[in-house]
Amino acid sequence: MKLKKLSAFLLAVMMTAGTIAGCGQGNSKGEQETKETVAQETQNQQKSTGELMGDNLKFDPAAQIAGGEDVNLSIWVPAAWEEYYRKWTAEYTKIHPNVSFDFTITSFDDHWKKVPLAIKTDSGPDLFWMHNSVNEIMIPHMEPLPEEKFPLDKVKSDFRQVESNIIDDKLYYVDMGLMTGVIFYNKDIWSDAGLTDADIPKNWDDFREIAKKLTVKDENGNIQVAGFNTNNAEYIWVDLMYQQGKWLFGEDETTPVFSSLEALKAAQLMNDIYNVDESGSGTQPKGEEAFANQKAAMIYCWGWASNYFKSNFPNLNYGAFPLPVFDENNFVAYGRNNGDVSLGVSKYSDDNKKQAALDFVLYQMCNNDMIIEYDVFDGMAPSKYSLTDHEAIQEEPVLKVEAEMLDKTIWPGAVPDNYFSDIQKYIGQSILINKTKPEDALEEAARMVKEGLDGKNFKTVERKSALADKLTTQK
């Protein structure tokens, strides 16, 4: 959407309004009439452009918010997102001068301690940074997206896996972007080993041979450069299960399952790369650290590492490729995905504030520039279909690969964090560090992971996936 003329007009309006506001307390009848005139002129200008923002779901900049009355929204975001949201709330205020934003900045550690406590009070947020990992805590306090403003058919036409985000027949947010696991590889080490782009493996058998070729050992057989490192991301086991067409949870959608031949095949692959091929070591640093310090030629990691490397190791020469699969001619999915979602709206806010807050969420969902900036910053591929091939995504090697993979990934739902940490411990680290037999590691995981989920009130949404008809329950 091209808003250059509109933006110039709005800037002039805002400057005029600022000059007027500087002359007094802003409460006189004359000033109120001036403000109403400015708002009306703004809306008339927007209407004259005839421009709506969005693909199927539309944001109408000419729609009046809160009857033109002043609305101040309290918005709480972690410090990492402050600059981003200050920028885009300022852009929104240019469209709706009667809506302003009051920021409270948190840390990631404190955000979910402070927001749940504050939201039911007058000091709590009207809008807040949301994450699907806290659904159980926050959904009871959130305003669902109303059908009349967010028609579900149009939302589904624009965004991936909307069905998986519906809770009790209500939608509270959409994924701004989706992240998944990819293989990062060091281009210099790759080239020194005589490898080219033509050697990028598509299946695990070829991958194992490449990893062996890239592994460097000292005279005592100690690994100096691991061909492959998945330390601190041993939950790769989950991806290996989806690749083989098996659900992670039983038919009750709550019980984790580890008892199939496919579960053993996944654990055995992890074992064989480290303990048979000796291409990796469980005693190496975690993957991203080893990779950054040239101690690993390939790692399994998620898209967030792209910005970690760019920010902290700008000279690191790396590329990315999709996760290999067991059979590239016959596989269900690459693995799991997860997303960062649109802002949450408090159900406790008054009607005018809810209307303005929901309108800003609509703006967020319809503003492609806002979505792209979010995704590039966070290392995600767009959830929005129309942005998959966006130039900014295609020029980022990791995001480009994620975008290629998205339609063959599965969101299991807001699985409690301990599910993945327990898989890391009782399958991954047990096998890769302690060299436990894969079948024994799975047996222990079946006990301990289930115990860790007891009382968590979790139910998977993996069966809502677009790939659901291709997967079956483990036996």
Q: Do 60 and 140 share a domain, yes or no?
A: yes
Q: Do 79 and 109 share a domain, yes or no?
A: yes
Return the higher-pLDDT residue of 401 and 37.
401
Q: Do 272 and 296 share a domain, yes or no?
A: yes
User: What's the pLDDT score for residue 109?
Assistant: 86
Lowest mean pLDDT among 133-137, 178-182, 362-366, 367-371: 133-137
User: What's the pLDDT score for residue 12?
Assistant: 36
Q: Do 409 and 293 share a domain, yes or no?
A: yes
The reply to whether 1 falls in a domain is no
pLDDT in tens, 207-243: 999 999 999 999 999 999 999 999 999 999 999 999 9
pLDDT at 75 over 50: yes
How confident is residue 455, by pLDDT bands cut at 50, 70 and 90?
A: confident
pLDDT in tens, 115-144: 999 998 888 999 999 999 899 899 999 999
The reply to whether 63 falls in a domain is yes
Q: Do 333 and 367 share a domain, yes or no?
A: no
How confident is residue 417, by pLDDT bands cut at 50, 70 and 90?
A: confident
Q: Do 162 and 225 share a domain, yes or no?
A: no
pLDDT at 19 over 90: no
The reply to whether 269 falls in a domain is yes
User: What's the pLDDT score for residue 457?
Assistant: 86
How confident is residue 21, by pLDDT bands cut at 50, 70 and 90?
A: very low
HEC string of the chain?
CCCHHHHHHHHHHHHHHHHHHCCCCCCCHHHHHHHHHHHHHHHHHHHHHCCCECCCCCECCCCCCHHHCCEEEEEEEEHHHHHHHHHHHHHHHHHCCCEEEEEEEECHHHHHHHHHHHCCCCCCCCEECCCHHHHHHHHHHECCCCCCCCCHHHHHHHECCCHHHEECCEECCCEEEEEEEEEEEEHHHHHHCCCCHHHCCCEHHHHHHHHHHHCEECCCCCEEEECCECCCCCCHHHHHHHHCCECCECCCCCCECCCCHHHHHHHHHHHHHHHHCCCCCCCCCCHHHHHHCCCECEEEEECHHHHHHHHHCCCCCEEEECCCECCCCCCCCCEEEEEEECCEEECCCCHHHHHHHHHHHHHHHHCHHHHHHHHHHHCCEECEHHHCCCHHHHCCHHHHHHHHHHHHEECCCCCCHHHHHHHHHHHHHHHHCCCCCHHHHHHHHHHHHHHHHCCCCCCCCHHHCCCHHHCECCC
Angstrom CA distances, 384 to 33, 223, 379, stand at 41, 43, 15
Structure tokens at 354: 């809810």
pLDDT in tens, 158-196: 999 999 999 999 999 999 999 999 999 999 999 999 999
Q: Do 309 and 443 share a domain, yes or no?
A: yes
Average per-residue pLDDT for the chain? 90
Last residue of a domain, one of 330, 365, 393: 393
pLDDT in tens, 28-39: 444 445 444 544
The reply to whether 325 falls in a domain is yes
Q: pTM, whole model, 2 decimals?
A: 0.86
User: What's the pLDDT score for residue 73?
Assistant: 98
How confident is residue 27, by pLDDT bands cut at 50, 70 and 90?
A: very low
The reply to whether 475 falls in a domain is no
Q: Do 372 and 445 share a domain, yes or no?
A: no
- Burial class from Cβ neighbours inside 10 Å (0-12, 13-18, 19+) for residue 266 reads buried
The reply to whether 156 falls in a domain is yes
Q: Do 224 and 273 share a domain, yes or no?
A: yes
pLDDT in tens, 271-318: 999 999 999 999 999 999 999 999 999 999 999 999 999 999 999 999
Range(s) of the domain holding residue 184: 179-338+401-470
pLDDT at 368 over 90: yes
User: What's the pLDDT score for residue 174?
Assistant: 98
pLDDT in tens, 197-209: 999 999 999 999 9
What backbone torsions phi and psi does residue 246 show, to the nearest 5 degrees? -120, 140
CATH of the domain at 413: 3.40.190.10
Q: Do 183 and 170 share a domain, yes or no?
A: no
The reply to whether 125 falls in a domain is yes
What backbone torsions phi and psi does residue 335 show, to the nearest 5 degrees? 160, -150
pLDDT in tens, 84-109: 999 999 999 999 999 999 999 999 88
Number of domains in the chain: 3
Percent pLDDT > 70 in the chain is 89
Q: Do 258 and 347 share a domain, yes or no?
A: no
User: What's the pLDDT score for residue 32?
Assistant: 46
pLDDT in tens, 429-438: 999 999 999 9
Q: Considering only CA atoms, which of 420, 104, 467, 60 is closest in space to residue 234?
A: 420
- Tell how strand 409-410 and strand 99-106 pair up: unpaired
The reply to whether 3 falls in a domain is no
Q: Do 141 and 161 share a domain, yes or no?
A: yes
